[in-house]
Every structure is written in structure tokens, then in C-alpha cells.
Structure 1
């Protein structure tokens, strides 16, 4: 990377204490609140489809696909966001969109009017809000966090996300059983309102974007060229896209598999996923230390294997209820350690090698492929689950995901020790 790509940092001292920075701390809390609410909807939405609407495996996979489909718009949204000055305002708008859309479900439930079409529309619009938030988030993040603290900041925010996976599914499962899935979604809607309120209180100076040099389509093209030609970005995209494709084959069917084939209740599923998510917290906490010990690139490669490989063992789950819950929890535990080792290090690396004025369109191009492939994985999962069965499909998903590490092995990422080396 040349000096014109992104700011460099010569200070090799310890990163600043982010938890003492009020602006970062508020941003951190706002995301933590949203994550906890999301865990409820992730369980409640497919359960509404499965229990209230008796959805088929294909219909459940379509629901998952629609949540991620708006990422294909990231190409254009990212370029558009780069030309906007007020990134914080866009984050708040994205939160409010998702809150309003989610609240429509409990309202429809009160009138006994929930349909599969309504559920699909909710998935699509919340997905759009998530994409808008993600496109503005990176530029906002760079304005809050110094470059030397990127790994530490990503670690802290990933730890919060992991904590939400620990407590969220168990709480969500309990709420779904006690209140019903549609009513439990109110909690997620309120979490977005709380996030928007906290974001509105973060003082920030947002410089105007540089004068536009080309059209929006030209900016879209720049984002694609940057991602596909930069050796680090290209390798990271190949890795994460591959692992996302295969893991979403599994994730699209996991709740259906646990509910129908393993005969687990919503509470039992929530407990298994919540306990397993302890691994995510451990992985996020360890990621900076592992990165310093063996190098950022190697830490990411270990995560790229450890994340998908255990999912193949999901196909072997059997026995009494406590055994099935314990096996699912153990699989999720190991997998969650892996995903955090991969995500924390690769996310910091992506931000570090991206020019400061291209964060939005790079994120858009990257997300369009990386997240855009998730609906395809979910649809393939639904088709395979219907034709060859759920257990063989889960085995294919886990084993296929391990191939993702080959992208990093064949790239400069394997040799990167620290962000200063980029």
C-alpha cells in the first residue's frame, strides 16, 4: 500500500484506551443494544414461518435469502454514502427504518393478519436498513477510532456481539415461548430505537466528501476495481464469500433442523445457541492476543478453518434431549471462536488497506459479493435439504466451508504480521 492509499502510523506504542473515550463508548453501547435485539428476531422470524405459517424448507430458506438480498444494492449505496457528509444521520435513519418495519409484525399478529408475504417483506426491508447502516458505519468508525486501535476496537465490538449470542438466544427463546414469536420481536424494534437515540448523542465532526470526480456508476466501478485488484482485499473477499456461501447453507436450515428433526423446543434451541456463543466472546477477546503472538494473517487463517469445520458435525447430533443440546452447544462454541478470529483480524485489515475516501464504495462492492452470496447459499441449502435431506446438507456445508482458507494461503495475507506491515 502506498502513502496515498490511507493514513500511515509510525507510532508502534500501545493503542489508546478506547473504553475511556466517551464517543466510542457510546457507539459501542448502541451497537451492543442492537445486537441483543437482533438475536431475538433471528430466532423469532424463522419460528413464525415454521410454527404459525407451517413453512417448508424452501420457504424458510427464501426468508433467510431475502434478509441478505439487499446487500446486492451495496454497490450503489456505498458509492452514494461516500458522497454524503452526515454519516451519523444515515445510521440513525437505518435504525428507525428497521424499528418501524419490525413493529408491523406484532401489530399484524394482534389482528391475526400475518402472512408469508408480510414476513418476506419484513425480511427484505430490515435487510435494506442493515445494508444502509453498514455502508455508513465504516466511515463513521474511522472518524472515532485511531488506526492503531482498529484491531482493539473490532475486538471490543465483536465481544459485545458475541455476548449477545450468549444471552440473546436463551432470552429470545424464553420470550418466544412466553409471549409468542411476533410479540417478542417488539424487543428488537425497541433496541433499534435505543441505538438511534444513543447515536444522536455522539458529537462528531464529519468533513464533507471530496468533489465528485465521476458519476455514481463511475464510483461503483472504482469500488469494484479496488476490491478485485488489491491483492489483500481480493483474497479476503474470496475467503469470506466462500465461507459465507457454505455456512449459510447450514444456517438457513439450522432452526428447522433443530425444531423438526431433533425435536427441540424454542427454549432448548436458544440455550444451545446461547451457550455455544460463549466461544464467540472467547474468540473476540483472544483475537488481538493471537494476532500479536502469531501474526494477523495466520490468526485469520486459523479462524477461517475453525469457523466452518465443526458445522459438519451437526449432522451427527442424536440421543436424548440433553445430549442433543450439549452437542449443538459444543459445535457452536468451537465455530464461534473461529469466526471471531477470522472476523476481528480481517475487518481491521480491510479498513487499514482501504483509502479513507473510498470506505463506502469499497464496503459496498465487498458486501455486494460477500453478503450477496449468502442468499444463494440459503437457497442452495433449501434445495439440498429438500432433495438429499437435512443431515447430509449440513455435512456438505461444514466441509465445503473449509475451502475458504485457500484464498488466504495463496495471498500476501498469510505473511502480514501487523497493520503496520500493510
Structure 2
């Protein structure tokens, strides 16, 4: 298929009205997400007195719906308007988050509701993410993949700077459930702006066969597991996600109970540390030009996880404890950006149009589906072995994920322009 978008005149992507509209909505939504990521576990820990296992299970509930990504992706591939799916998914997440401040207002918030919110919002996110890959290639040209991923990731990194500090302040001022109102509003804004974006989705190939959803789902998984690039990428990403969620299930609990840091200080530490993500997003393309896309992905994988092993050494006065937390976040966030920006661009370049959502669904089923297991293992490890040893194991195990790339074509990839889609 000829990519007709290549004929369009080149304009700086941030000046493109359609991309800027979508980008603006996503930026607002990302800031709201950072509020919920801090507020949700703090509701469980400080208001409902949840322990490590319960917090681990709550983190797992957020990601458990990703196990259905395989089937959702197959269904989305047959939809002509992926943009519409994304809009409804954002709206549903907004309504779900809105239920928490309402329940708090009437004095009815429970741990059961937290789990319900996590599951419903997680399910809506699956529909959004599996639709996004096809929407993305309708929104930007192939030669803009790295630029677009860098811009989106830059503002995502910026949200990790602003969001946690904002969240910490709002939680201390208004309580955690009321702070989540910010996230609810951000989802509604994102839905409105995404709906206003004008993209011609008819220009992309889509699945039109009468085959069953199960058959299409199996086909998507088979494609990912046999694809020379995607199978190596999936193994590396899945390993990272398992061990990073072993750590993420415990880090807020550790900061609150073991380091005795307040919500405001935790938010500030995460916000300062998140500047590493902003730096990584700004440097990702430059590092890839110097080292090559493949080696940059491998470097990002190591830097993403290794810092978790430093968490247990935190001690001393408040500034030292918070500083260690910020340092861990800084290095890890930089690694995330080096990994994600280049790996996402590589995946977009090698995946055929008509299978994008199906491939995204199959990939996410394994890659994100492992996250609940990692969170549960983290909670149980924190309960049985202690939080410190579990964090060290997570840092070491995750940093070894790059070994999956050795011997694969991924590691030798120099530029995205060298890649072509591999047919089913």
C-alpha cells in the first residue's frame, strides 16, 4: 500500500493543528493521571489502612484488563473509526474517576470501590491503547514517527514533573479522593479535544474479513510471536514490565511507611526525579542517531530498572531520604524515554497497517498483562521477604532484560528509515 501521507508538505509537527489538538488533550490527561497514580494507593494506605498485599493487588487490578487486549485489538481492527473508540474510552475513564470524590463526599468510599475503579478504568484504557496505534499512523507521516513519539513522550515526562508535586499538594489540601477530581476532568477534556481532531482513517488498511474474533486474535498473537523484531521486543518489554511493577507496587508504601515521608514530599521527590524523563525524551532521538536505535533501546532497558535497587539505601534526614527517591526516579525515567520512544517507533515501522490494532492487542496482552503478576509478586515479596530485598531483586532482574535483544535484528538496527513492514 502506498502511504499517501508522504506527499504532504513537511511542517514542524508541533505546528500541525491536528497533531497539536490531540497532543494538547493528551498532555492535560497525562497530568491528571499523575494525580491518580499517587492518590489511589494513598487512599488505600492512609484512609483504609491497606498493607503491602492489598496495595499490590490494587496495582494489579489497574493492569489486569490488559489480559483481554488480544481480543479487543482484533475487534478494533475491524472498526473503521478508531478515533471514536478512543473518545468513548476517555469519557468512561472520566466518569469512573468521578465516582471516587462523590463516594468520599457521602462517606461511602471503600477498598472494594477502589478495586472497581481500577478495573473499569483499566478496561477503558485497553480500548484506548489498542486503537491508538492505528490512529497514530493516520495522524502523522512515517518520517515523523520519532518526532511525534518524542513530543508525546516529552509532555508525558513533563507530567511526571508537574503531576506528582500537584498531586501531593492537592492531597494534603483537599484529601486524596477529592484530588482525583482533577483526573476526571482531564479525561473529559482529552475526549473533547481528540474528537475535534480531523484524520482520514479511510486511507489506512483495515481488517474486513468474516473470520471469527478468536481466529483474528490467534492470528495477531502468532504474528507477534513469529515476527523477527516484535518477538525480541516483546520478551524485553515483558521482562521490564514484570520487574518494574514488582518495584512500583511497593515504592509509595516504602516512601510513606519506611521513609516516613508525607504525601507532599513524596510528590515533590517524584516530580524532581521526573526531570530525568524529560531529559531522556529530549535526547532519545539524538542518542539514537549516535548509538543507533537498537543499542539505545538496550541502554534504556538497563537504566529503566537498575535504579530500583538503590531505594533500600535511603536514610538520614528528610532531604536525604527524599533525594534518594528523586535520584532513583531521575535515572529510571530517563531510561524509560530512551527505551519507549525508540522501541515504539521501531514497532510502528515494521507492523502492517491492517494488523496494527491486533498486533497492539496481542503485544499488550503479554507485555501489560504481566504487570498484575509483577504487582502481586511485589506485594507478596514485600510481605514475606521485606520491601528492601524485593526492590533489589526487581532492580537486578529488570536490568537484565536487554539480554533478550542480543542476537536479534533489533540490536543492530541503526535507523527507522531502514525498516519496512513485514507482512502477515
Distance 1:316-1:84 versus aligned 2 partners, 3 A rule: same
| Structure 1 CA distance for aligned equivalents of residues 159 and 73 of structure 2 | 27
Q: Does 1:185 align with 2:180?
A: yes
CA separation of 1:365 and 1:15: change in aligned 2, threshold 3 A: farther
> Does residue 375 of the first structure (1) align with residue 379 of the second (2)?
no
2:19 pairs, out of 24, 28, 48, with 24
Listed one character per residue, the Cα deviations across residues 234-260 of structure 1 (whole Å, up to 9, x for unaligned) are 010000100110010000011100000
Any residues of structure 2 matched to 1:229-268 within 5 Å, and which? Answer: 229-268=226-265
State the aligned residue count.
Answer: 416
Specify which of 66, 70, 73 is matched with residue 65 of structure 2: 70
Whether contact under 8 Å (2:206, 2:355) holds in the other structure is no
Change (3 A) 1:175 1:217: same
**1:298-324 per-position Cα deviation (integer Å, ceiling 9, x unaligned):** 111110111101111111111111101
**Partner Cα distance (1:386, 1:149) in 2:** 46
C-alpha displacement at 1:214, in angstroms? 1.8
Question: Which residue number in structure 2 is paired with residue 212 of structure 1?
Answer: 209
- Following superposition, the deviation at residue 331 of structure 1 comes to 1.3
- The Cα shift of 1:211 comes to 2.3
Q: Give the one of 331, 340, 350 matched to 1:334.
A: 331
The equivalent residue for 2:270 is: 273
- Partner residue in 2 for 1:59: 54
* Equivalent position SS for 2:283: helix
2:408 is equivalent to residue 388 of structure 1: no
Q: Is contact 2:77–2:207 with CA below 8 Å preserved after alignment?
A: no
1:346-402 CA distances to partner (integer Å, 9 max, x unpaired)?
Answer: 000011100001000000000000000000000000111000101111111001101
Q: Is 1:109–1:182's contact at 8 Å kept on the other side of the alignment?
A: yes
What CA RMSD, in Å, does the superposition of the two structures yield over aligned residues? 1.6
- Post-superposition shift, 1:16? 4.5
After TM superposition, give the deviation of residue 210 of structure 1 in Å. Answer: 4.2
Match of 1:143 in 2: 138
Shift of 1:409: 1.6
Distance 1:413-1:31 versus aligned 2 partners, 3 A rule: same
Match of 2:100 among 105, 119, 128: 105
- Are 2:123 and 1:154 aligned? no
Paired with 1:8 and 1:382, the residues of 2 have a C-alpha distance of: 50
Task: Go from structure 1 to structure 2 and tell me whether the alpha carbon gap of 1:361 and 1:283 turns closer, same or farther (over 3 Å shift).
Answer: same
Check the 8 A contact 2:207/2:355 in 1, yes or no: no
* Counterparts of residues 345-364 of structure 1 (less than 5 Å): 345-364=342-361
- Partners of 1:209 and 1:295 lie apart in 2 by 32
Shift of 1:212: 1.2
Match of 2:319, SS state, is helix
Q: CA deviation at 1:206?
A: 2.1
Partner of 1:196: 191
Moved over 4 A (4+): 6-11
Q: What is the CA–CA distance in structure 2 between the aligned matches of 1:40 and 1:281, rounded to whole Å?
A: 18
Alignment deviations for residues 139-162 of structure 1 (CA, whole Å, 9 cap, x no partner): 111001101110111010000000
> Does residue 81 of structure 1 match 2:76?
yes
Does the 8 A contact of 1:16 with 1:149 survive in 2? no
